[in-house]
Structure 1
Amino acid sequence: MKALLFAALLGAAVPLQPVVAEAFDRAQHLPAQPLTITGDRTSHRFQVEVARSQQQQAIGLMFREVIPADHGMIFPLQPPRMASFWMKNTLASLDLLFVRADGTISSISPNATPLSLAPIESIEPVAAVLELKGGEAARRGIKPGDRVNWQGSSLRDRPQAG
């Protein structure tokens, strides 16, 4: 009986592997560009992907198992507005940095729980949201008021249809 149960469980698990592999293949990889966060006496450099279109923003960093410490993704929001994100299909913990139109950080939601459907919201209208590896903002001493600058941080980065 145990052998039959084990065989049934093993057989049930095997078809899941292609489904999981397919999910990981759905991760998007956009061109990266430099981004700098400057504080009182500190400067932190990252390579970030820019999610410009609505489709790119909907996928974000979903299905990524690992986010390198010096990488991330930025979501330009034009016009500035209240932002609400979730961690659906996001496998790695993230810090979400909400960035005002003047480039300063409004607030930080640290260590967002992977796969959570709970909303993560800005406290005021923002012009961008920056996602970094979970815990990276605290590790580097990044805080509200620090300034975010990236190539092309202008109205031409606003989300486009499709």
Structure 2
Amino acid sequence: MFSPYDELDYRILLKLRENCRKSASDIARELDENERKVRKRIDRMVELGIGKFTVIIDPKTFGYGITVDVFLEIDPQKEKSIMETLASIPELTYIANAQESNLISIEGWFRTNEEMYVFLRERLPSVDGVSVKSYALVPRILRDLDSWLPDLESFGIKK
């Protein structure tokens, strides 16, 4: 399988994932590579859209310790307004359409069980065209998008 990335790109990404503020010179030194080469690789990966540099906020530091995944059934005729309403809810960290056009998956973070209860039983059902199909409390998240990496073959590395 052809890949525009190689083992050096992978090693650079591992370093950036540890600390995206790490300088190219520090990464080059740690990888025993030329600083200019590392800087060019980082620039190229950014140009290719491999990722973006951002701060990932941990909801727990603001007291949001209760997570729930919710599956909604929506009226497809009202999808646009429903999605706009959902996008305006600060407790939601994830909103996605499912394969069927009338299903939506969301993730919410709450400070208390009472907040979550009111959200599930009152706030969501009050959105025109939305019904809560099911939900699951999430006591522990083992892996999130900020810790994901493609497999080694995506970098042309044989296992």
Q: Same fold (TM over 0.5)?
A: no
Q: Which has more helix, going by share of residues?
A: 2
Comparing both chains, which one has the higher relative contact order based on Cα–Cα distances under 8 Å and sequence gaps of 6 or more? 2
Report the TM-score, using the length of structure 1 for normalisation. 0.25
